[in-house]
Structure 1
Amino acid sequence: MSGFEQHLHEQHHHDHDGACCHDHQEAHLEPFVAASGATVYRIHGMDCSSCAKSLEKHMRTLPAVKEVNVNFSTGKMHILQDGLDNKAVMQEVSKAGYTASMLAKRSGAQEEASDHTGTRLTVISGILLLLGFIGSFTSIPEPVLISLWALAIVIGGFRPARSAFYAIKSGSLDMNVLMTAAAIGAAAIGEWMEGATVVWLFSLGNMLQARSIEKTRDSIRNLMNLAPSEAWVKAGETLTRKPVEDVSIGEVIVIKPGEKIPLDGEVWNGASSVNQAPITGESIPVDKSVGDGVYAGTVNESGSLEVKVTRLVEDTALSRIIHLVEEAQEKKAPTQAFVDKFAAIYTPIVLVLALLVIVFPPLLSFGTWGEWFYKGLELLVVACPCALVISTPVAIVSAIGNAARNGVLIKGGAFLEKAGTISAVAFDKTGTLTEGKPQVKEVLIADGAKEEELLRIARTVEEHSKHPIALAIIKYAQEHQHMAMVGADYRAIVGKGAVATIDGETYYVGKPALFEEMGVSLTHWTEQIKTLQSEGHSLIVVGTSKRLLGLIAVADTIREITVQAIQHLKASGISEIVMLTGDNAGTAKKVAGQTGVKRYVAELLPEQKVEAVKELQKEGRVVAMVGDGINDAPALATADLGIAMGGAGTDTAMETADIVLMADNLEKLPHTVKLSRKALQIIKQNIWFSIIIKLVALVLIFPGWLTLWMAVVSDTGAALLVILNSMRLLKYREY
């Protein structure tokens, strides 16, 4: 990654974090300007990554351009320049043979339509070619036929020739250069009809490829249309229709049954069920009541909702998904990087070979100059590995797009490829396999203690903790109207519990092991502890370093979706599924039994989860770690692939993992694994198909069995087939 690309990558995050600072009154078609000063344009007509490189090199020849990065996968150009207005930038892009349109600043805005001049020129060229072909069977004079074919070459080849000129000027060697050389060469040796056929087939192939690739890019852009462009804003008893860009944080919007929710927010009034599938991929609508969060782009199915806006339009979960996915699509996968390197070596070698074929055989009297010149032209056409270079990026864009529409963010091609190779999945228990919302099931009081005292102390010590068990204890105490006391010196004991000072006495709330370490005897609780743990309860002891006040038994519930997801993972061939938990062995055994997990490791501290992941890797497995993205950050980072849950609700999950499940459940994990494997399979198919087509074309040149137009068909046809094969990933479904 160049320094500029790195800067842009970092700036993406800056733009996201500082989105609220944008001026919401700007025109819809104002170009998107990154905080770095780089203007972003959409580029239409690129059908190969060499196109992106040629355009990049051309733009760099302009004195006003400081830095430029053109990305083929997303069809975007980031340009840092001084002195060029938007019109001048677009004209320069047009010179190179492509069309630039302003990238709309806001997700709901419409961008300028792409230029269809190339399509019209291709059609006119095709008509002239057809007239010449039909005329060749009649008594029409040959000069007239040649004129028709020459006109077809000029009209159809105008744009490729212009692109070729600027590519050569900027020191690039792309398909436009090779095709232009082939067409001119064909005309030079009198093969006018063949030259016209070459130009028309190349133009047609380019047009079809460009449109197909645009379709894969649009799969993500279409997400932008999920959220409405306007919202009903409530002020007192008055409802006003406003563009979403003009709605501020804290305002209350009204969503009627059947309408899409326009902005992220919190339910202020009302209750309903909301279809969150567009964001989280969840198949079942989720019930929402006062205090629950809702996301832009989801559908309010039943009751009317009043929602207090919590995020501006640029910072909604939907906007973050689009932003992260487009960023992910710009990252090269290892396979793509390898193919690009191969292509960079392959093309010059075949080009030199073409020149040798033109010059040496006739010099050595192995045939005529015209015959070998023709073979050299065929080699020129075969020299561009367009299908090979395009084999990986289009598949990755399609797969990442499919995943995003199913509520899964894959942060780059490298992670997509890695997901296709995983052989073991390690799960955190709390909040991943279970609901993560445990409840107090039983309270045992020690001799001489009172339940009220126990619960008030427990609530006080746990007041500053966000751990699910701590929250369960606080909630239970609240429900029984036991108020917190005045505490001091609050401190967490990692993986074991918490401590605080109340009325000059130090109280501990934590696992039985914490009290055993302090030498506090639990012998009179032994039987009850064993029984409760075997029933799947987590036990929290409350007391000081000298005496016990009592015991609180807490239990979590298994998610129904978890059991199905694990069954589907097993069915897809994941050989090892492991549960890692800080909970006791009894609870771990019970949860493992209920979920169908055969292997589990209990009573782990956060750093020990890292060791458990490393152990799996030592066994020769490619390990994916699934957690909530907060407590499991070290284990997520250690695993070959980190998968976080609940991305729609937390920014932390989005930041820490390689893959983010937007829903707070595992429903889409099997789909992600299968999609990744399918993507790897299609990438391999594309690469082998591209190589075999090239080899066959090369072999057929020398016996004279390959014509120039067949060489063009082999190249553009192969590229088109590779694109269409990759596009199957857009429609891929789990079942």
Structure 2
Amino acid sequence: MEELRVKGLSCANCTRELEEQIQKLEHGQSATLSYNSGKLMLDENVSIDQVGKILSSEGAYIVKPEKVQLNKEHKQDEDHSGHNHGSNDNNTHDHGHVHGQGGANIKLLLGISAVLFVAAIFLQSHVHQAITISIYLISMSISGYSTFLKGAKNLLKFKFNIDTLMTIALVGAIGIGEWKEATLVAILFGVNELLEGLGMEKARRSMEVLLQVAPKEATLIQDGKETVVPIASLQVGNVVMVRAGEKIPSDGSVVEGKSSVNEAAITGESLPIEKSPGESVFGGSINNEGVMKIKIDKAYKDSSLAKILHLVEEAQETKTPTELFINKFAKYYTPIIIAVAFLVILIPPLFLGGDWKTWLYQGLAVLIVGCPCALILSSPIAIVAGITLNARNGILIKGGVFLEQLGKIDTLAFDKTGTLTKGEPHVETVIEYDEGNFYTIAASIEKSSSHPLAKAVMKKIEEQGTKTIDPEEVETISGQGIVATIQGEKYWLGNEKSMNHITITAKVQQDIDQLKENGLTLVIVANSTHILGMFGISDEIREESKEVIAAIHRAGIRHTVMLTGDHQKTAEKVAKLVGVTDYFGNLLPEDKVEKIKMLSQKGKVAMIGDGINDAPALATAQLGIAMGKGTDSAIETADIVLMQDHLGKLPEAIAIAKKVNLIVKINLSLALGLKLIALLLTIPGLLTLWIAILSDMGATVIVTLLSLTILIKKK
């Protein structure tokens, strides 16, 4: 397959018809043409010249006819390095330039046509009728000649689309002497088509700006020499220099230099992140100050940014259930309107004594109401705008269908570890019985251990500035703890089971029971006779979790549920602290799946987890949301990915999705409502040609403007 960029697509319905025509070409069965992204996917054997002719029938054109092979390497190297997005217009084929000026030419022609129309109105009472009719005819020809030519061709093929309907209406209006009305309809129809194209182009440009965050070149360091190379040529293990203000070319790790890095392009976070040698960095993030040397860990085509941009582009192509319904509805809508128009023309004169000329005029106006453009436009601009805005915030939504679902969910299930909590052990409580030795002995035993609990203990002890003593002997007892000899005396560090060599007093036992009741994991330190003290360790709750859960409830999610493998007491404690409405503990992965199925019977459920351990539950939920700071598994597993390492942007994503769904509903209501009003005006015989076209034009303008409000981000 090859990928081609198409410009000049001004109408969603026309785009669908163009796609159908291309699919009829030899080898063209698999062709797809997207109105949302202006992308044409084509079999390599299809004649580009024939495709060009089909596109030109609607004023569209191929921006870059050169073939772009869709193997993974070439596609991502070209598209996401910015060569396509950044330079398409500069590499336009000759015929592209002709059509490329079409937008300006259409505006000029419509302007001339409007001036002639106004002139004819002023002159009609001062000059011979033949002169004003000639001016009307010239004005009509300037603004409507392309519609007339396309409509005439369609009539010969018995193909009824908007151009056919407009052609019949114009010829009919001329036939009954309504020159002024026919000219106004031609002008308004031209303006309407222009507005449709501008609205979608605005949404596409917003998406293209997002896609241009990809760096294009890198400064490669080899044998002490600096060379500027395309990022597509970088290999794993290469070292690049990134100066202040430059973009990091691909995912890698800092080998030299310290700086703050802006990761907004990947995570949506505006605050800079400090980076030191050994720390990882994302491709596409910006070095704020100083000079860093970065070792490339992934070729650009495999980097987080390349995958994000690729998925964002693909997301534009998917059709939501609403869009699929609208497209199907539009196919039947136009033929039904044609039938209604004929009934309006025939029934009143034949059976009710109506005037043929009056009802022929009314029927022609009904034909114009058959234009489905505003109806089809009600969804795609809003969907692209919603996907774009979320991507700017570091929220990757893999398709319009998932954006629509996000706006419909009423139940959100959370994994606990790494989602509501940090997934790192944290000392929550310390009880000392022997203030002289407790911290010193604990630090001396734990300092060389790599166990996560040991790290948590050492982090707490370091706050005290405690000195350590090197043990003479250390023995690890699996599942219990450590026995160490320090300055000739034996000490024990571990859980409750490792303390069976001493008698635990009632007071100490009471403390142990209390800590366990609070859902804490215990690390106890003792000598040969008594317990010196103990640490109560928990998984630290994220600072933002409580606020985020409250914001999610405000966003309209009625039911928040925490699912965890931890015991019930821990689950209860975390649930109360963060404010979820329900919780379940002691769950194995398969238990989480069962809980999701149970919740799905009561509502629309989204599951949010880390994208690895929770894969079965993410797959089972109607919507899977992963958070993983750009990890490959998170990007690949879920329907929606939070590129941040926290839930902070989730409430906004839900709010955007709900706004998109609301606007699509309003758009549909307006598009159909204005048409219905226009049709009802036929009953008293009040429908005019210009009211008919204005009903669609008004809907188009409102639908476009409403959809573009999604891109307006509140400060």
Q: TM-score range by the shorter chain?
A: 0.7 to 0.9
Q: 1:242 to 1:171 in 2, by over 3 A?
A: farther
CA offset at residue 718 of structure 1? 0.7
CA offset at residue 655 of structure 1? 2.0
> Of residues 114, 130, 148 in structure 2, which corresponds to 1:143?
130
Which residue does 1:693 correspond to in 2?
A: 674
> Of residues 40, 44, 49 in structure 2, which corresponds to 1:77?
40
Which residue does 1:97 correspond to in 2?
A: 59
* SS in structure 2 at match of 1:42: strand
Write the letter of the residue equivalent to 1:147: S
Distance 1:481 1:717 in 2: 82
Give yes or no for the alignment of 1:223 onto 2:213.
no
Q: Note the alpha carbon deviations across 1:201-251, whole angstroms, 9 max, x for none.
A: 111111111011111122221112223322222224322222323333322
Contact 1:458 1:473 in 2 (8 A): no
Q: 1:196 to 1:314 in 2, by over 3 A?
A: farther
Q: 1:128 to 1:694 in 2, by over 3 A?
A: closer
Shifted more, 717-726 versus 71-80: the winner is 71-80
* SS in structure 1 at match of 2:6: strand
Alignment of 1:425-444 (within 5 A): 425-438=412-425
Write the letter of the residue equivalent to 1:369: W
Which residue does 1:609 correspond to in 2?
A: 592
> Of residues 231, 235, 243 in structure 2, which corresponds to 1:244?
231
Q: 1:552 to 1:637 in 2, by over 3 A?
A: farther
Give yes or no for the alignment of 1:280 onto 2:257.
no
> Of residues 565, 569, 584 in structure 2, which corresponds to 1:582?
565
Distance 2:305 2:588 in 1: 35
Distance 1:405 1:271 in 2: 26
* SS in structure 2 at match of 1:267: strand
Q: Note the alpha carbon deviations across 1:153-207, whole angstroms, 9 max, x for none.
A: 2232233334445656777532222222222222232222322221111111111
Q: 1:196 to 1:122 in 2, by over 3 A?
A: farther
Contact 1:629 1:644 in 2 (8 A): yes
Write the letter of the residue equivalent to 1:357: V
Alignment of 1:251-270 (within 5 A): 251-270=238-257
Contact 1:93 1:99 in 2 (8 A): yes
Rg comparison, structure with higher value: 2
Which residue does 1:730 correspond to in 2?
A: 711
Q: Note the alpha carbon deviations across 1:340-396, whole angstroms, 9 max, x for none.
A: 333222221111111232234334463333222211111111012322222122221
Distance 1:170 1:539 in 2: 82
CA offset at residue 729 of structure 1? 1.1
Give yes or no for the alignment of 1:627 onto 2:609.
yes
Shifted more, 201-210 versus 55-64: the winner is 55-64
Alignment root-mean-square deviation, CA: 4.0
Give yes or no for the alignment of 1:595 onto 2:578.
yes
* SS in structure 2 at match of 1:307: strand
TM-score, normalisation: structure 1:
0.79
Identity of aligned residues (%): 40
Distance 2:367 2:264 in 1: 49
Distance 1:456 1:122 in 2: 75
> Of residues 275, 296, 302 in structure 2, which corresponds to 1:309?
296
Distance 1:168 1:39 in 2: 33
Distance 1:204 1:595 in 2: 54
CA offset at residue 132 of structure 1? 4.1
Alignment of 1:284-433 (within 5 A): 284-364=271-351, 366-433=353-420
Write the letter of the residue equivalent to 1:566: I
Q: 1:668 to 1:452 in 2, by over 3 A?
A: closer
Which residue does 2:652 correspond to in 1?
A: 671
Contact 2:14 2:58 in 1 (8 A): no
CA offset at residue 424 of structure 1? 2.5
Distance 1:123 1:522 in 2: 95
Distance 2:359 2:167 in 1: 18
Distance 1:364 1:246 in 2: 78
Which residue does 1:712 correspond to in 2?
A: 693
Distance 1:246 1:534 in 2: 58
Distance 2:234 2:654 in 1: 39
Write the letter of the residue equivalent to 1:385: P
* SS in structure 1 at match of 2:298: coil
Which residue does 1:47 correspond to in 2?
A: 10
Write the letter of the residue equivalent to 1:89: V
Alignment of 1:43-192 (within 5 A): 43-63=6-26, 65-82=28-45, 84-85=47-48, 87-102=49-64, 105-107=78-80, 108-109=82-83, 110-112=87-89, 115-138=100-123, 139-164=126-151, 172-192=159-179
Write the letter of the residue equivalent to 2:688: T
Distance 2:502 2:367 in 1: 84
Distance 2:272 2:58 in 1: 49
* SS in structure 2 at match of 1:228: coil
Q: 1:169 to 1:472 in 2, by over 3 A?
A: farther
Structure 1: gaps spanning 5 or more residues: 1-37, 445-449, 463-467, 491-496, 499-510, 542-550
Runs of 4+ in 1 over 4 A off after TM superposition: 165-172, 439-444, 450-459, 468-476, 479-482, 520-529, 551-554
* SS in structure 1 at match of 2:665: helix
Q: 1:608 to 1:469 in 2, by over 3 A?
A: farther
Distance 2:443 2:103 in 1: 80
Distance 2:298 2:522 in 1: 39
CA offset at residue 53 of structure 1? 1.8
CA offset at residue 432 of structure 1? 0.8
Which residue does 2:624 correspond to in 1?
A: 642
Write the letter of the residue equivalent to 2:79: R
Write the letter of the residue equivalent to 1:599: D
Distance 1:292 1:278 in 2: 18
Q: 1:297 to 1:81 in 2, by over 3 A?
A: closer
CA offset at residue 581 of structure 1? 1.6
Distance 1:168 1:522 in 2: 99
Distance 2:613 2:547 in 1: 25
Q: 1:194 to 1:559 in 2, by over 3 A?
A: same
* SS in structure 2 at match of 1:435: strand
Give yes or no for the alignment of 1:563 onto 2:546.
yes
Contact 1:347 1:383 in 2 (8 A): yes
Q: 1:380 to 1:131 in 2, by over 3 A?
A: same
